[in-house]
Amino acid sequence: MSEDKHWFRIAHREAWIGVGLAVFNFIWWFGFAYGLGGASPSSYDYIFGLPAWFFFSCVLGFIIMVVLVLLVVKFWFIEVPFEEEGGDES
Amino acid sequence: MNWSVVIPLILFLLLIFVIGFWASKHIRTTNASFLSEYFLGGRQLGGLILAMTMIATYGSASSFIGGPGVAYTEGLGWVLLAMSQVVTGYFVLMVLGKKFAIMSRRYKAVTLIDFLKGRYQSKWVVLVSAFSIIIFLFSAMAAQWVGGARLIESLTGLSYISALFIFALSVLVYVILGGFRAVALTDTVQGIVMLFGTLILLIATIAAGGGIDNIMADLQAENPNLITPYGAEGTLSASYVSSFWILVGVGVVGLPHVTVRAMSYKNSKAMHRALIIGTVVVGFIMLNMHLIGVFARPILPGIEVGDKVMPLIALEVLPAWLAGVVLAAPMAAIMSTVDSLLLVVSSAVVKDVYLNYIEPKATHEKVKKLSFSITAILGILVFLMALDPPELLIWLNLFAFGGLEAAFIWPVVLGLYWKKGNKYGALASMLIGILSYIIFHLYLPNLFDMHTVVMPVLLSLIGYVVVSIASSSRVTVPE
């Protein structure tokens, strides 16, 4: 079943990509939230009215994740048939 | 009764019924496999519906009613916490991914337990997992029904019991009639309602508060902690908030009503689209609706019961008819979680226990009747439990989900990707996960300043790996 192995290798790689994205997501989220947000509230900078830590961590972080998912799916994800016969959908 | 609020809600419920009836046609006309159609929509979901049904399923009462309420109390720190849910938008589908789709087709799995049965070939794995799904999801469901009934109560002024009755009836009718396909379709409608509902409400709230700058200044004047990541009393530590990445983020991979969706899609293309749509929509909804909670504070100070923040702010900042439309959103969130829970619990009873061990040769007609009646009976049981509602909706709900995550995350994920994992490991992992969750919850909650879920998930990982390796000589590894 070498074809099987081929599809599984793709599936495994994509699962690892998911883990990688989550790790990046976490670091970005954590870094900005507690890096910038740890300061005293009176010294906060504001972007679009929101405290900078919040804007970078939650708003920009979200936008960046959307862009990354988009790119990853577009360029790295491969279409794989799910049925034994090979993509014969009714 | 405030009719201009109630009429949009009624229209929304009617729309949901129409979808249920429409989907029930599919069930009556299909003869290939009733079980696959009723519990899995015949594995035919496209990208949009897949994304929406996943989001609607975990964006539940806890996040929709409880979430903004806590954000109101805690400030931006709770929005930060809620944003850990963005990860679910892509993580679940990527990690279970294509391997899960291929393997569940190969095992002809219709439920998560079917998958475990196919992978581990063990009666005990099946029984323990069916039992824990029934117990845990049943209590989660009760919490959700309470939320739904409270919402109707606060909107219409009906008594709690009549509100609960309306809610129960509307959920039961379309779940029983339409099965998974109806649930997924209504989830999509409900997801779209949530998306636009929260957006409209957020904009109206910002306008009512005199712009974001103004709101932030008001919050800072009241209590500077509200705009820090640490919560109103400074009690939300970095490690505590981060541990929610496991509870409501990556750990969601182990929730049976979420995983079942990861076997329901048509093809790779549907999955790819769902990844993108899912990430966008889940992040957008979470951000909007928790910000609404925070921004509501200067506009409506002094709300005591967190659950009432969403309804009250909507009625305050929107014209009545629009408030009715927007408030269909939390209603939608609750209904769409409840319906999928109901279906998962009923499939655990019918398919995983009854058909596996009580009467394997039941006729087609009998299975059909059984599925409908078990779903109905479960619904009535939940209704009876919800009559005497427990106070803290959000924690009851999280208790159930945390327990299931600790039980299933490793048997599912390592079952997929680690050849050496075996039935002894899976069984050990599930038992350790559930028991340690209960023990930690009772005696050592939030150990090391992290949510209770963290330690049981770690222990069940150790259990899975150690027992699988130790028992490897007793099991032949299937290729």
Per residue in B93-138, pLDDT (tens digit) is 999 988 898 888 888 888 888 899 889 888 888 888 888 888 778 7
φ, ψ for residue B45, nearest 5 deg: -70, 140
Model confidence at B61, pLDDT cuts 50, 70, 90, reads very low
- Contact of B198 with B331, CB cutoff 8 Å: no
Interchain CB contact of B242 with A (< 8 Å): yes
Out of B33-42, B45-54, B126-135, B409-418, least confident range: B33-42
Q: Are A12 and B275 in contact (CB < 8 Å)?
A: no
Helix (H) or strand (E) holding A50: strand A50-51
Shortest distance, CA B186 to any CA of chain A (angstroms): 24
- From the list A48, A53, A87, the residue facing B229 with the nearest CB is A53
pLDDT of B291 over the 90 cut: yes
Residues of B in contact with A89 (CB under 8 A): 266-267
ipTM for the assembly: 0.88
- Contact of B10 with B167, CB cutoff 8 Å: no
The ranges assigned to domains in chain A are 14-75
Rounded average pLDDT over A29-42: 87
φ, ψ for residue A51, nearest 5 deg: -55, 145
Rounded average pLDDT over B330-352: 79
pLDDT of B203 over the 90 cut: yes
- Contact of B347 with B134, CB cutoff 8 Å: no
Higher-scoring residue by pLDDT: B29, B36: B36
Q: Are B83 and A62 in contact (CB < 8 Å)?
A: yes
Distance between CA B5 and CA B102 in Å, rounded? 47
pLDDT of B262 over the 60 cut: yes
pLDDT at B479: 44
Torsion over CA: A58, B90, B121, B137 (sign): positive
Rounded average pLDDT over A18-46: 89
pLDDT, averaged across chain B:
82
B289 exposed, middle or buried (CB, 10 Å; 0-12, 13-18, 19+)? buried
Shortest distance, CA B97 to any CA of chain A (angstroms): 7
pLDDT at B65: 58
Residues of B in contact with A42 (CB under 8 A): 220, 224
pLDDT at A88: 39
Six token digits for residue B55: 């989001």
Task: Provide the number of CB pairs (under 8 Å) joining chain A to chain B.
Answer: 140
Q: Are B269 and A79 in contact (CB < 8 Å)?
A: yes
Model confidence at B204, pLDDT cuts 50, 70, 90, reads very high
Residues 25-84 on A with a CB inside 8 Å of B are 25-26, 29-30, 33-34, 37-38, 40-42, 44, 46, 48-51, 53-54, 57-59, 61-62, 65-66, 69-70, 73, 77-84
Over the stretch B7-17, which tens digit does the pLDDT of each residue have?
Answer: 887 887 788 77
Domains detected in chain B: 3-391 (1.20.1730.10)
Rounded average pLDDT over B349-378: 82
Interface test with B, best of A6, A70, A73 (most B CBs within 10 A): A73
pLDDT at B64: 57
Q: What is the pTM of this model?
A: 0.84
- Contact of B178 with B19, CB cutoff 8 Å: yes
How is residue A33 annotated by DSSP?
Answer: H
Higher-scoring residue by pLDDT: B43, A56: A56
Rounded average pLDDT over B343-371: 82
Interchain CB contact of A9 with B (< 8 Å): no
pLDDT at B306: 77
Model confidence at B452, pLDDT cuts 50, 70, 90, reads confident
pLDDT of A89 over the 60 cut: no
Distance between CA B48 and CA B465 in Å, rounded? 37
Q: Are A82 and B268 in contact (CB < 8 Å)?
A: yes
Residues of A in contact with B71 (CB under 8 A): none
Interchain CB contact of A10 with B (< 8 Å): yes
Model confidence at A27, pLDDT cuts 50, 70, 90, reads very high
Distance between CA A82 and CA A74 in Å, rounded? 19
Q: Are B227 and A54 in contact (CB < 8 Å)?
A: yes
Distance between CA B460 and CA B472 in Å, rounded? 18
**DSSP-assigned states of every residue in B411-463:** HHHHHHH-TT--HHHHHHHHHHHHHHHHHHHHHSTTGGGS-TTHHHHHHHHHH
